[in-house]
Amino acid sequence: MILLIDLDDTLLANDMDIFIPAYLQKLGEHLANLHDPGKLIEQLLTATQSMLTNTDPSSTLKERFDRDFYPVLGLDYDKSAIQILDFYNNKFPKLKSVTQNVPSAYELIKDSISKGYKIVIATNPLFPRIAITQRLKWAGLEDFIDEFEIITSYENFHFTKPNPAYYAEIIAQLGWPEEPIIMIGNDQELDIKAANKLGIATYWVNPNTNVIHPNIMDGQPASAEGDLSHVTHFLQNSPVEYFKSQFKSPDSIKAILLSTPAAIKSLLSQELSTKELEFKDIESWGFCEILCHLRDVDLEINIPRIKQILEKENQFIAAIDADSWAIDREYSKQDSKQALTDFISARKELLSYISEFDEKSWQRTARHSIFGPTTMKELLQITARHDRLHIQQFYNQFHNIRS
């Protein structure tokens, strides 16, 4: 089982209405020699808003923040970065005084790890990793930091809560495993509703609820409510079917399609050598072949089909054997970095069509040579599933290299 667990006010009592003003004051004071604190904080908030609204899979949140912060203030990046790192090492830890331990957090993490659960610290990735690991230490979880599968931070993520693509990116970075998944958090909008939109089970941490209230609807993953101390009992005493994800809604489809290039970019950013990029198993495609395949399927199948169905209802859609292109077009000899760039461009074009679909657009009909009568929604569900399968392949290749 995979547990996505929020940090602030879930594993650590941290009232953001108190924490953020204290944080900004200390940061402004520490950087006062670089720029007027008032203007610096104003621009920091503007750059943070840019992260919150980012939907560009080619830009990490850090890259988005940096573009909207340092040049606008005329700051030298290298000089400023050294001073900011000093802030997180020496001044940020003093903010621990405005937070408190959650007694049941340590036991939840310890028990989950002992059971072999995979844990992701699914905190809104608006801070650098150093600021998040500091808060994990404040929560008394220092012993487990190296045990977590992922700690979402602005260096390694492209989207924020409440965008469902944030949750899709987490699962994509894990290789879209088939294991049960649940999101555990205290915020209804950021943690629960957003994860529900993707189609994964949720547990709303509500200290005012003394018993577990599971909400189970046919064909949908569980949405439970209770105190953090009740999570282990709920997980142990619930059928595995409660945690089966359902990636079928329009929100889910859009989130998956947006997360794919972002997750691939994150995997490829880990300094792979040319030899590693060219690595492939005998029985599967290599990185470049997967990227070229995804690029060409978007450009020559997915986007033309979307246009065709939008143009006229009940159009005939012919099946195309895109797998043969890998050999016919010699994908293995193409440049993987250029293929990624071109895939991201193609995927952005595809998303530009579906991002504003209304219900009628999703239900537009077509006739497929294999599937028979179908809809725009069903075909895009297949596209999202196709993405997940190739991310699994990509992830497996990556870990075969590193093993």
CATH number at 188 reads: 3.40.50.1000
Tell me: do 256 and 392 sit in the same domain.
Answer: yes
Looking at residue 280, its pLDDT comes to: 59
Query: What total number of domains does the chain contain?
Result: 3
Tell me: do 326 and 233 sit in the same domain.
Answer: no
Q: Which domain holds residue 229?
A: 2-11+100-243
Say which CATH number the domain at 271 has: 1.20.120.450
Residue (of 14, 32, 142, 22) closest to 84 by Cα position: 32
Tell me: do 274 and 295 sit in the same domain.
Answer: yes
Tell me: do 215 and 287 sit in the same domain.
Answer: no
Looking at residue 277, its pLDDT comes to: 61
Q: Is the C-alpha dihedral spanning 112, 116, 121, 122 positive or negative?
A: negative
Tell me: do 29 and 106 sit in the same domain.
Answer: no
Looking at residue 213, its pLDDT comes to: 72
Q: Are 371 and 318 in contact (CB under 8 A)?
A: no
Task: Dump the DSSP string for 2-28.
Answer: EEEE--BTTTEE--HHHHHHHHHHHHH
Tell me: do 181 and 330 sit in the same domain.
Answer: no
Q: What does each C-alpha distance from 280 to 101, 262, 287 come to in angstroms?
A: 47, 21, 7
Tell me: do 394 and 259 sit in the same domain.
Answer: yes
Tell me: do 109 and 84 sit in the same domain.
Answer: no
Widest pairwise Cα distance in the chain = 67
Encoded tokens for 304: 């033309």
Looking at residue 270, its pLDDT comes to: 64
Q: How far is the C-alpha of 391 from the C-alpha of 397, rounded, in Å?
A: 10
Tell me: do 23 and 61 sit in the same domain.
Answer: yes
Tell me: do 61 and 105 sit in the same domain.
Answer: no
Tell me: do 149 and 7 sit in the same domain.
Answer: yes
Q: Are 289 and 316 in contact (CB under 8 A)?
A: no
Q: Are 212 and 234 in contact (CB under 8 A)?
A: yes
Q: Are 255 and 247 in contact (CB under 8 A)?
A: no
Last residue of a domain, one of 81, 97, 113: 97
Residue (of 121, 224, 109, 108) closest to 170 by Cα position: 121
Tell me: do 254 and 229 sit in the same domain.
Answer: no
Query: Would you write out the chain's pLDDT as a tens digit for each of its 403 residues?
Result: 999 999 999 999 999 999 999 999 999 999 999 999 999 999 999 999 999 999 999 999 999 999 999 999 999 999 999 999 999 999 999 999 999 999 999 999 999 999 999 999 999 999 999 999 999 999 999 999 999 999 999 999 999 999 999 999 999 999 999 999 999 999 999 999 999 999 999 999 998 876 677 676 666 788 889 999 999 999 998 888 889 999 999 999 999 999 999 999 988 876 655 556 665 555 678 889 999 999 999 999 999 999 999 999 999 999 999 999 999 999 989 998 899 999 999 999 999 999 989 999 999 999 999 989 999 999 999 999 999 999 999 888 877 766 5
Residues in the chain: 403
Please, which residues have CB within 8 angstroms of residue 303's CB and are 6 or more apart in sequence?
346, 349, 350, 353
Q: How far is the C-alpha of 333 from the C-alpha of 243, rounded, in Å?
A: 42
